[in-house]
Amino acid sequence: MERALEGVRVLDMTRLFPGGYLTTVLAQLGAEVVKLEPPGGDPAREEEPRRQGESYYHWAINRGKKSIVIDLKQEPGRDVVLSLVRQADVFLENFRPGVAERLGVDAERLRRVNPQLIYVSLNGFPEDDHRSARGSHDLNYLADTGVLDLLGPEHGAPALLLSDLAGSMWGLVTILSLLYQRRVAGHPGQPARVVFAEAIRHWAVLQDALFRFAGETRFPILTWPSYHVYRAADGEYLAVAALEPQFWERFCTTMGRPDWLSRRRDPAWVPVVQEVIGGRPSAYWEDLFAPVDACVTVVRRWADAARRRPDPDLPRPNQWPTAVPETLAPPGLGEHTAELLARAGWDAEGRRRLRETGAVG
């Protein structure tokens, strides 16, 4: 069955995780994603560890894509980009402000070649913020927006790149919206900017409203015994999310403690529940609650959960037939250069000259 974005062509000039993750999702949805890489390639290719010479980082975020190597410091390299843009629907970059203009791949220039082009810039801070001209990463956006404070800075950097993921998802929403607008309303393509610090703030919309309404920064439910993570006797953990009365009633019944029923929202009851759960190993609780619909789950170690998933398949969060991901390898550096140049109209002699000058690789 044809996938949702079949026929959509995406040129990805981003580096490392945020753009790579975003365009991986586009590829899963059926788009042709072409990585426009500099000589030497995306730095993601160099990250350790490796398996059979392949970086885990590159493998994670670049499967199912194509790769062409282009030297933008050469005029012929910029001409190659323009030739690819003529056949493209979407172009992504994550340069600091002013860099795309200096390299000749800014929105104004590319959209002169293809007015239908959707041009998306991924940035950490708003363009008019002085910090946008500096280097920054996921942890900086979490820190600046106050989200790291909500997570608990004493625990160090979060294991997930939350700002990058939020920005990637908003980039995806932006691209899909503009593709829809272009197709249904007949609007031309347009430039768009996705700001990662703003994206993670949007994910914290409930915390923001809580603070504005009540001056609080933590949800009251985080203090309730019905929504807590408890330590079992073997050092593993049990996640209890029995928020609604019916779930809490089943939890208390299964625990053999009907006297807890009125304590669903009582913070003082957290240590009481902890004492009981702490008296048995996690396997006991897992077996006990296996047949019970009470929102109780043993906390899996990441390694254990990962071993239960197939390798090397991509996760399948959208379970619908027009978005079935394929098991594909990431591209070799410049693996599709010849193919893409030919499709863009470069004849054999032109391709030879480009390679001789080092404009492509």
Domains of the chain, residue spans: 9-204+331-357, 220-307
- The pLDDT of residue 308: 77
Residue 312: per-residue pLDDT: 56
Q: Specify the fold of 9-204+331-357.
A: Rossmann fold (3.40.50)
Residue of 110, 108, 105 whose CA lies nearest to 74:
105
The Cα 238–Cα 113 span in angstroms is 57
Segment 257-272 shows an average pLDDT of: 97
- Tell me what pLDDT residue 190 has: 84
Q: What is the pLDDT of residue 172?
A: 96
Q: What is residue 39's DSSP assignment? A: T
> Could you give the 3-state DSSP secondary structure of residue 161?
coil
> Cβ distance 102 to 73 under 8 Å?
no
Distance CA 188, CA 114 (A): 10
Name, in order, each residue with C-beta under 8 angstroms of 339's C-beta and a sequence gap of 6 or more.
66
The candidate with the shortest Cα–Cα distance to 145, out of 126, 171, 160, is: 126
Length of the chain: 361
Number of H helices, E strands in the chain: 16, 11
- Per-residue pLDDT tens for 213-254? 999 988 899 999 999 999 999 999 999 999 999 999 999 999
Q: Which residues are CB-contacts of 186 (< 8 A; sequence separation ≥ 6)?
A: none
**Quick one: CA dihedral 132, 138, 141, 143, positive or negative?**
negative
φ, ψ of residue 229 in degrees (nearest 5): -110, 120
Q: Tokens representing 241?
A: 């999310």
Query: Between 304 and 226, whose confidence is greater?
Result: 226
**DSSP character for 86?**
T
Q: Give the model's pLDDT for residue 324.
A: 46
- Contact between 307 and 318 under an 8 Å Cβ cutoff? The reply is no
pLDDT, mean over the chain:
91
CA distance 323 to 31: 10
Residues 6 or more apart in contact with residue 352 via CB below 8 angstroms: none
**Annotated catalytic residue within 71, 128, 164, 287:** 164
- CA 208, 210, 213 angle in degrees (round to 5)? 110
> Distance (Å, rounded) from C-alpha 361 to C-alpha 251?
62
Measure the CA–CA gap between 272 and 361, rounded to whole angstroms.
65
Report whether 104 contacts 25 (CB < 8 A): no
Would residue 311 show up in a list of annotated catalytic residues for this protein? Answer: no
Cβ atoms of 260 and 224 closer than 8 Å? no
DSSP 299: -
**Topology of domain 220-307, CATH:** formyl-coa transferase, domain 3 (3.30.1540)
Gap between the Cα atoms of 81 and 310, Å rounded: 37
User: Shortest CA distance to 226 belongs to which of 256, 191, 262?
Assistant: 262
Query: Does 9-204+331-357 match 220-307 in CATH topology?
Result: no
Residue 168: partners with Cβ closer than 8 Å, 6 or more residues away: 18, 19, 21, 22, 25
What pLDDT score does 224 carry? 97
The whole-number pLDDT of residue 165 equals 95
Per DSSP, the three-state class of 148 is: helix
- Number of Cβ within a 10 Å radius of residue 327: 11
Q: Is 298 in a helix, a strand, or coil? A: strand
* Percent of the chain residues past pLDDT 90, beyond the cut: 75
Residue 1 pLDDT greater than 60, yes or no? no
* pTM of the predicted structure, to 2 decimals: 0.89
Amino acid occupying residue 220: P
